[in-house]
Amino acid sequence: MNNVRNFGAVGDGVTLDTQAIQKALDAGGIVYFPAGVYLTGSIYLRSNGGLELAPGATLLAVPDKTQYNADDFIPENQAFSTENVSGAHLVIAANVENIVIRGGGRIDGNRRAVFNTPNPENPARFLLPEWRMGQMVYIVNSKNVSIQDVEMLDSQYWTCFLHGCQWVKIRGVRIENDFGTQNGDGIDVDCCRYVTISDCIIRSADDSITLRGNDARLGGRCPCEYVTITNCILSTRCNAFRIGVGGGLVRRCTISNIIVRDTRTAICLVSQYSKKSSGVQIEDIQFSNLRLDCVRPFYIATTPRGVQEEAAKNIERISFNHVRGTANRGSVISGSYPGYVKDVSFNDMHLIYDRGENIVAVPPEKTGYGEFIQGNPPAAFYLCNAENVVFKDTKITFPEDAPEWLADIFAENSTFTGDDLKAK
């Protein structure tokens, strides 16, 4: 193991240590960081090596864009100019294998030094700067990846992004991003196979954990599959789980033993966010043992744009078992056209609702799809163009004297079974 200080790193939080860190990484093997603050720009992990961050050791992102990789340093990399995001990264692992990030220390994106001014039009958000770093930890086309027992804090954009990787283990990671950070995701898993994520605590400004099928820059046909996520506590102003994005395939994944708290939407599955794509096929996803204390428990939709006849891909064979929680906004299960969302099941579920938040009144024609899909339906579940939705051993509890809640289920052009649930 190489001690980074033997290669010239100072670790005082002032001296730029990028060259010393990279020299230690290039020497091969795992690089050890004793306690200290190591100011750095982009560093590149090499095969059969990685980072051992001792407790008290911090990798701190330097707030100088000249110290980072070029946006086009590899073909897979991407900048998002519409979000004022560059293609720069702090820790990079590209086309490597057998790498680790571990040790009890932390990786700090230093967001507060790049943008920390509240937006006067939306004080809960920071004003975006002209430039900011992209994904803080960026791992692409790599195999045998292990990230364990580290903290990742204050990212300027997504925190940890894995794209086109195989045999990945993430365990015991804590992620903390201020809720004012636009696009401040936790862990994004895109077109990866054989992934385990466990024992993580994530408080993120945007999606806590995502499963994506955006395979365009990987040459296509790279499914996101065989991912298991367990024993995590998630909190976000957006989606605890977001499944979708891209034009590929997400399938054969399990998610269990999860606590979601202080969150807008607990579980969001959307196939088609943009008209530029036919969307992501989402199938065979199993959820179990969930505690959801949130605004909206479930949002499952082909598209958030309402009923459309444009081409889309299916969401099918999705199951939820052993769910408990509280909410104040109804869940949505909807297809943009019949047949696109089907075979969704709920078993052993009890949801307790508070007074309804901004409930949309039912129009006389009963065609309120567009309002319900974005707003709050007057029922615990709103179904539209959904086939074979099954509720078994399910209980919905509304507060007494809450006339805004009209039913447990409000359905349009859908087929479902619901035990003793009240439906309209």
Question: Parallel, antiparallel, or unpaired for β 43-44 and 315-327?
Answer: unpaired
Range 216-424 has CATH code 2.160.20 = yes
∠ CA 83-86-92 to the nearest 5 degrees?
130
User: CB-based contacts of 276: which residues, under 8 Å, 6+ apart?
Assistant: none
pLDDT of amino acid 49: 98
pLDDT of amino acid 362: 54
Q: What is the enclosing helix (H) or strand (E) of 22?
A: helix 18-26
Sign of CA dihedral 294, 298, 303, 306: negative
Q: Check if 1-206 and 216-424 are the same fold.
A: yes
d(CA 62, CA 108): 10
pLDDT of amino acid 156: 97
Instruction: Going residue by residue through the chain, which has 424 residues, state the pLDDT in tens, using 9 for 90 and above.
Output: 899 999 999 999 999 999 999 999 999 999 999 999 999 999 999 999 999 999 999 999 999 999 999 999 999 999 988 889 999 999 999 999 999 999 999 999 999 999 988 888 888 889 999 999 999 999 999 999 999 999 999 999 999 999 999 999 999 999 999 999 999 999 999 999 999 999 999 999 999 999 999 998 898 789 999 999 999 999 999 999 999 988 899 999 999 999 999 999 999 999 987 776 778 999 999 999 999 999 999 999 998 766 666 667 899 999 999 999 999 999 999 988 888 999 999 999 999 998 766 665 554 444 444 555 566 788 999 998 999 999 999 999 999 888 888 899 989 889 999 877 877 6
Domain spans, the chain: 1-206, 216-424
What is the DSSP-derived secondary structure letter of residue 217? G
Bridge partner residues of 267 (DSSP): 241, 298
Sign of CA dihedral 55, 57, 59, 62: positive
Bridge partner residues of 409 (DSSP): 381, 423
pLDDT of amino acid 361: 54
Q: Could you tell me the pTM of the whole model?
A: 0.95
Which whole-number Å values give the CA distances from 334 to 154, 180, 303, in the listed order? 35, 30, 8
Q: What helix, strand, coil percent values describe the chain, rounded to 5?
A: 10, 50, 40
User: 190 by DSSP, 3-state: which?
Assistant: strand
pLDDT of amino acid 424: 67
Residue 247 near residue 216, CB atoms below 8 Å: yes
Which CATH fold topology does 1-206 show?
Answer: Pectate Lyase C-like (2.160.20)
